[in-house]
Amino acid sequence: MKALRWIGIGVLVLLPLAGLGNYPLHLMIMCLLWGYVYTSWALMGRLGMTSFGHGAFLSIGAYVVVMGWNHFGLSPWFGIPVALALTGLVALVIGYPCFRLKIVGHYFALVTLAFSEIARMIIVALRDQTGGSLGVTPNTALSNASWSLLALQFSSKLVWFYIILAVWLVGLWIWNLVNRSMARIALEAISQEEDAAASIGIGVTRLKLGVTMISALMTCIGGVLYAQYQLYLNPETVSGIGVSLQMVFGAIAGGMFLRLGPTVGAVFTLLLTEALRLALGHDIHGLDTTLYGLLLVLFIIFMPKGILGAAITLWRRHRSTPSAATA
Amino acid sequence: MIGEGPLPFHKGEGQGGGGMQVFDVFLLEAVLNGVLFGGILALLALGLNLIFGVIDVVWICYAELIMIGMYAVYYLHTVYGWPLWLAFPACIALVSVLGAALHQFVIRPVLAAEPINQLLVTGGVLFLLQGVATLAFGVEFKNLGVQLPTLQLGELYLSATRLIAFVVALAGMIGMYLFLTRTYLGTAIRAISQDRAVMPLMGVNPHRIFLLTSALGGALAGLAACLLVLQYDIHPAIGLSFGPVVFLVCVLGGLGNMIGGFVAAFLFAQFISVGGYFFHLEWGYVIAFLFFIAAMFWRPRGLFGARS
């Protein structure tokens, strides 16, 4: 399995060098970027904390950095720590009381939903600074150069591919660290029966807050990358209920209990949208959303472990049947 | 999947520019508008609370059911030329059937699964309905084109549509209250909501009650659609502009607590209306949402829920 992993990474590293066009490269970048964001969400989502508020973290990352650059000439390299600090603070302010007061399940989902809507409303309300619903473009640093490290802007998609590939790999590595920690086992116990877990000495609030912090900070970085790569932002694509639900469902469709599950979800939803667009053209609006919604309903009813989860179960069953017959 | 801005609240009415006088006539207007808006919110919250109280499921797609109802009224009235008094009951019936279908085909298969799955599955329905509406009706804004006069009371201007909506919403709520307290079925519904395990032993068929409750919740959504279609333009993403507010109202009042939801709706509407009057409409929403979060930390089970 270990060899397989390195081969996979090797293929991903070498693939763009084979001279892919801009469009396939863009698709791969988007798959990895959303895969990373969904992975960040699933880090806490799979432990029973269904957050509908991750759009807020995504928008803090995206908007703080772009606003700093546009209005104060602050380089993203300084903007990123500011955004991370703000995200951490916000996650603490929302998370601590929630976990302390045992706001779980439906209530947690709906409280965090309020929160992602607040982020969207604030961005729209500050329309003089943020451009409101019309969105905003970071001031370009590429007018007479093809890249600017200071402004974190690169015209080459290849550069972006490697940056985002690296971030995605770090995301998976963090997943691994969390997965192998005692904290994960404790958190699983908490998600099963919070009071019982507390009674055997598990620090419920501290653990939940810890994993929420990691998840929120990772999502914030995803927002930064999205803004710098797309060079265009609007409140609907990075904040509010829409993108928050998109994260939840992307992760679930792929399989949120597996490391690569959220990435599979991102690949699946992006390819679905693109395939429909290519097959039917731009004129038919809404078909992708219709199919997406329908598939989600079917997934949750028939395949709650997601695509990857179901595939692995199927594969294991397939493999174990012949060996059981010979044994 | 695109969310829209908040519902235009002070549409076409005189709006004061942040005067700080306490007995400002515009402030009074904002308060009154808040009360009228509160009536609609209360009706919206009632349907959701009924469903949650009885079936223990949150319909994330509740606002999308209303959106479908609004389109139904629009098409029946402007395209097929039905009079409004006929289009409205048809809309209520349609959304009611949709509610029952939602329960039968989507909720029922996951009733035994983890509770969060029931929330998520209706989120899938949200996208589905939004997509279907975009496919079938396009993304253009549609307007029913029924214009009711603006009432003038001294220096106050109030829209008649909003007043009618408020009165109908109140009547609907009273009707629901009477149904739940005075009829056999209503009593069975309340009993199920108190103890889901024991009622089947008393000879009540829970599945039938669930289906009926879903149809009732759908009917309330249909009624809300009839009232909203008079005031707002219709587009496929309209659900996202008031859906979150309704959920927050329900949570604030305590999920499943119908009286709590009623009070919370008026509180919330005041925050939006008066906050929007002093600053800007979006800030009204921001203030209301922040109030919601603060209230959750003060009373995690809702303002009227039991203290944990």
Of all residues in chain B, the percent with pLDDT exceeding 70 is 91
Task: Please give the residue of chain A at the shortest CA–CA distance from B291.
Answer: A114
Q: How many CB pairs under 8 A join A and B?
A: 158
User: Residues 18 to 57 of B: which have CB under 8 A from any A CB?
Assistant: none
Query: Could you write out the three-class secondary structure of chain A?
Result: CHHHHHHHHHHHHHHHHHCCCHHHHHHHHHHHHHHHHHHHHHHHHCCCCCCCCHHHHHHHHHHHHHHHHHHHCCCHHHHHHHHHHHHHHHHHHHHHHHHHCCCCHHHHHHHHHHHHHHHHHHHHHCHHHHCHHHCECCCCCCCCCCEECCCCEECCHHHHHHHHHHHHHHHHHHHHHHHHCHHHHHHHHHHHCHHHHHHCCCCHHHHHHHHHHHHHHHHHHHHHHHHHHHCCECHHHHCHHHHHHHHHHHHHHHCCCCCCHHHHHHHHHHHHHHHHHHHHCCCCCCHHHHHHHHHHHHHHHHCCCHHHHHHHHHHHHHHHHHHHHHC
Interface contact A294-B110, CB threshold 8 A: no
Question: Is 90 exceeded by the pLDDT of residue B185?
Answer: no
Residues A241, B3: C-beta atoms closer than 8 Å: yes
pLDDT at residue A283, rounded to an integer: 67
- Of A6-10, A18-22, B256-260, the range with the highest mean pLDDT is A6-10
pLDDT band at A35 (very low <50, low <70, confident <90, very high): very high
- Nearest-CB residue to B121 (from A246, A287, A297): A297
The complex scores an ipTM of 0.80
Instruction: Verify whether the Cβ–Cβ distance A118 to B3 is below 8 Å.
Output: no
Chain A interface disruption, residue of B120, B246, B249, most A CBs within 10 A? B120
Convert the pLDDT of each residue in A47-74 to its tens digit.
888 898 899 999 999 999 999 998 888 8
Q: What percent of chain A stands above pLDDT 90?
A: 28
| Shortest CA gap B51–chain A (Å) | 14
Q: For A102-124, how does the pLDDT look when each residue is reduced to its tens digit (9 = 90+)?
A: 888 888 888 888 888 888 888 88
Tell if the CB–CB gap between A111 and B293 is shorter than 8 Å.
Answer: yes
Percent with pLDDT over 90 in chain B: 17
User: With an 8 Å Cβ cutoff, is B133 touching chain A?
Assistant: yes
A114 and B244 within 8 Å at the Cβ level: the answer is yes
Q: Which residue of B has its CA nearest to A123?
A: B282
The pLDDT assigned to B219 comes to 93
Residues of B in Cβ contact (< 8 Å) with A94 = 293
pLDDT of B193 strictly over 70? yes
Q: Is A177 on the interface with B (CB under 8 A)?
A: no
A20-29, B21-30, B163-172: range with lowest mean pLDDT: B21-30
Tell me the mean pLDDT in the region B129-157.
Answer: 80
Q: Which residue of A has its CA nearest to B285?
A: A121
Amino acid occupying residue B149: P
- The answer, for A245 touching chain B at a CB cutoff of 8 Å, is yes
Determine the pLDDT at residue B19: 44
pLDDT single digits (tens) A239-298: 888 888 888 888 888 888 888 989 999 998 888 888 888 887 666 777 878 888 888 888
* C-beta of residue A266 within 8 angstroms of C-beta of residue A254: yes
**Which residues on A lie below 8 Å from B289 (Cβ)?**
114-115, 117-118, 121
Average model confidence (pLDDT) across chain B: 82
Average the pLDDT over each of A7-21, B127-141, B172-186 and give the range with the smallest value. Answer: A7-21
**Contact at CB, B283 and A125, closer than 8 angstroms:** yes
Percent of chain A whose pLDDT exceeds 70? 97
Cα dist from B36 to B31, B220, B251, B283, whole Å: 9, 17, 21, 20
Q: Which residue is closest to A294 within chain B, CA to CA?
A: B128
pLDDT at residue B17 is higher than 70: no
B109 contacts in A (CB within 8 Å)? Answer: 301
Cβ contacts of B126 on chain A, cutoff 8 Å: 245, 293
Q: Do B128 and A97 touch (CB under 8 A)?
A: no
* Nearest CB to B290; choose among A118, A288, A297: A118
Task: Output the pLDDT for position B13.
Answer: 40
CA distance A269 to chain B (A): 13
Tokens 């970048």 correspond to what residue? A29
Mutation test of the interface with chain B: which of A49, A237, A300, A305, choosing the one with the most B Cβ atoms within 10 A?
Answer: A300
Nearest-by-CA chain B residue for A50: B116
Average pLDDT for B170-193: 86
> In the prediction, which pLDDT does B12 show?
38
Of A288, A300, A304, Cβ closest to residue B124: A300
- Return the pLDDT at B305: 62
Residues in chain A with CB shorter than 8 Å from the CB of B3 are 120, 236, 240-242
Q: Nearest CA of chain A to the CA of B87: how many Å?
A: 26
CB A274 within 8 A of CB A292: no
Q: What is the pLDDT of residue A157?
A: 84
Query: Tens digits of per-residue pLDDT, B62-120?
Result: 999 999 999 999 999 988 888 888 889 999 999 999 999 999 999 888 888 877 788 88
- Interchain CB contact of A294 with B (< 8 Å): yes
Q: Where are the domains of chain A?
A: 22-136+147-238
A99 lies within 8 A of chain B by CB: no
Q: Which residues of A touch B2 (CB under 8 A)?
A: 236, 242
User: Of chain A residues 297-316, which have a CB less than 8 A from chain B?
Assistant: 297, 299-301, 304
Q: Which residues of A touch B119 (CB under 8 A)?
A: 50, 106, 109
Give the pLDDT of residue A162.
92
Q: Do B131 and A301 touch (CB under 8 A)?
A: no
- For B152, other C-beta atoms within 10 Å of its C-beta total 9
Of A50, A292, A299, the CB nearest to B116: A50
Number of neighbouring beta carbons within 10 Å of residue A176 = 11
**How large is the average pLDDT for residues B243-271?**
85
